[in-house]
Structure 1
Amino acid sequence: MYDLMNDFHIAVPTAFYDNEDLNTETTLQHVMHLYDQGVKSVLVCGTTGEQHSLSLAEKLQLLESLDAASFLPDDLEILFGVASIRQKEALQLAEKVNANPKISGVLLGFPPYILPSQKEARLYVEAIAKVINKPIILYNNPRRTGFNLDLDTFAELIKLANIIGIKDAGDSARIPKLISVTDKKIYVYAGGEIDLDNKIALGATRLSSMAGNLYPTEVEAYFTDLLRGCADKTKDAGIEEKIHNVFADNSIIYIKNEITKHTQIDMGIARSPLGNL
């Protein structure tokens, strides 16, 4: 059986030096900072919008840094993002991810910009899933990639044993339909905290969080209350305002700046043109 233990993970930003070079040491420092606050699952190299600025060599460097980090606790569930505009490079990364014992699962995204057909996208996923003997979450994000996974295509892909669910950052109204096209238990990950109560009402059962980089305990408690149907508008007003602030402008810039401001961890800059002033 393929499964992941935690229903809440935090998508961590990637640290860069001032010259925009990859800073793996600080990235892992932030991961440990989250763990020390009680976080049990993180996603590296995915969701924050930075993945496609990384070359294959940099993704492999980040992956290798996780393997070499003996200080990472055994009970920390680490997911790794796999996606590329070129299937060949996605396969190379997938093979290394599969061989890395620190990685518990994969968030598998679709290629940006090139607009594959549904058949091409299905074959892309099937080829990558074949080399990954770990749980896989599909990541459908039409706003960023220009590609939107059809329900019929999803219905075929979810039959693969190691695909356990989907994170769909598109139309939340599709959530019940995604659940209905399969006869096996699947996880639907809410992509971010915006409109989270509605996403959960529609059937989302897990959360891939960005705001949790700044407020891990509060966001997880907020998510858990919504999931259990015991949310309190008065109690939740504070964290909802904080979440709004994270996503009001450029979320990755805001998150990096706030981490740097309030901890001893300098996450550095974003890669331009992000952060241009």
Structure 2
Amino acid sequence: MAYDELRTRLRGVTTALVTPFENGEVAHKAFAELVEWQIGEGIHALSPCGTTGEAPTLNTAEKISLIKTCVDVSAGRVPIVAGTGTNDTVSTIALTSAAAACGADAALIVTPYYNCPSQEGLYRHFEAVARNVQIPIILYNVPKRTGVDLSLETIERLSELPTVIGIKDATGELDRPKRIVRRIDDRLIQLSGHDATAVSFNLERGDGMISVISNVLPATTVELYEACKRADACAARTLGFKLKPLLTAMEQDTNPVPVKYALHHRRGLSPDVRLPLVGVSEETASAIRRACAVIDHVEETPSALIAQHQQAVLSITLAAR
């Protein structure tokens, strides 16, 4: 896929796919069915083998198999953005090359975690990957999980590399899109990696989102993005209120534990996770079920959504105490 076409098609909602497990093994059939359902619901792109896909617990063969399944099922209908980042530059190059060979359209590469490199180290890591692979790269900045934050200066330097086309920003800093645009104009597509602030992010010059909640509610998440795209803040925030009870419930545990339970509750997908993650507590499961019930019966008017959102959040918060 040509870079300009890819940049256009990634402006929207990319689902950060979960990885279904059965008896400890990757459930390839369930994964393929999830991919097909997501595409049918109108999602713009798909991203396997990221944080939500439990990449740290997947071996290389499993990652390659999942990426290939995603590419094969999609059959070109939506772009596939493979999670290929590690905290080792050589391994990242190898996995990114393998993803490209499978037919992935782009690679989502997280900043190296645990080793806490300097800004110069971060630049050289991404520069080495960009130099050695023939696939577009989306930077992934998630300081809460990695312990490092890509500075605006480093983002500006990386934006000059021809294969770096975008950034997934999970800092939750709502002014980031404007600050980045002031430095580099629109050289990078800017994608929210934080569902709770995705509405504000996209109303503030963002270009879309790589979303967790779209695993469960893809069509609603796409509708939310489309409202942001046409600068309809009222509609966007109304839809944000619709999603808020489930987002609040899912914040009670570590991603992807809650979203896998939500998929289990709504679509029968296995909620199993791999150690060191464990399944949801009954309190979190109950909160998710209540949130889903609110979403299913919500009145889609701003005042009704705000009232129902406040009641649902209060109920979930009190139950968690």
TM over 0.5: yes
The structure-2 alpha-carbon separation of the partners of 1:183 and 1:24, relative to structure 1 and needing over 3 Å to count, comes to same
Asked if 1:85 corresponds to 2:87, the answer is yes
Higher relative contact order (CA 8 A, sep 6+): 1
Q: Deviations over 1:78-127 (max 9, x none)?
A: 110111122221111111122222x1111111121111121121111111
**Cα distance, 1:268 vs. partner?**
4.2
Whose radius of gyration is greater, 1 or 2? 2
The structure-2 alpha-carbon separation of the partners of 1:34 and 1:65, relative to structure 1 and needing over 3 Å to count, comes to closer
CA contact (8 A) 2:48 2:70 kept: no
Asked if 1:165 corresponds to 2:166, the answer is yes
Pick one of 172, 175, 178 that aligns with 2:177: 175
Pick one of 265, 271, 275 that aligns with 1:272: 275
- Please identify, of 142-151 and 23-32, the stretch whose mean Cα deviation from structure 2 is larger: 23-32
The structure-2 alpha-carbon separation of the partners of 1:182 and 1:29, relative to structure 1 and needing over 3 Å to count, comes to same
The structure-2 alpha-carbon separation of the partners of 1:106 and 1:234, relative to structure 1 and needing over 3 Å to count, comes to closer
In the alignment, residue 131 of structure 1 is paired with which amino acid?
A: N
The structure-2 alpha-carbon separation of the partners of 1:135 and 1:52, relative to structure 1 and needing over 3 Å to count, comes to same
Give the unaligned 5+ runs of structure 1: none
Asked if 1:134 corresponds to 2:135, the answer is yes
For 1:11, the equivalent position in structure 2 comes to 16
Asked if 1:203 corresponds to 2:205, the answer is yes
CA contact (8 A) 1:27 1:267 kept: no
For 1:52, the equivalent position in structure 2 comes to 56
Pick one of 249, 256, 260 that aligns with 2:260: 256
CA contact (8 A) 1:253 1:270 kept: yes
In the alignment, residue 226 of structure 1 is paired with which amino acid?
A: C
**Cα distance, 1:136 vs. partner?**
1.5
The structure-2 alpha-carbon separation of the partners of 1:234 and 1:182, relative to structure 1 and needing over 3 Å to count, comes to closer
TM-score (norm: length of structure 1): 0.88
SS in 2 for 1:149: coil
Q: Deviations over 1:121-152 (max 9, x none)?
A: 11111111123323221001111000111222
- Structure 1 CA distance for aligned equivalents of residues 42 and 211 of structure 2: 14
The structure-2 alpha-carbon separation of the partners of 1:235 and 1:44, relative to structure 1 and needing over 3 Å to count, comes to closer
The structure-2 alpha-carbon separation of the partners of 1:200 and 1:65, relative to structure 1 and needing over 3 Å to count, comes to closer
**Cα distance, 1:195 vs. partner?**
2.0
CA contact (8 A) 1:188 1:205 kept: yes
RMSD across aligned positions (CA): 2.2
- Structure 2 CA distance for aligned equivalents of residues 174 and 204 of structure 1: 9
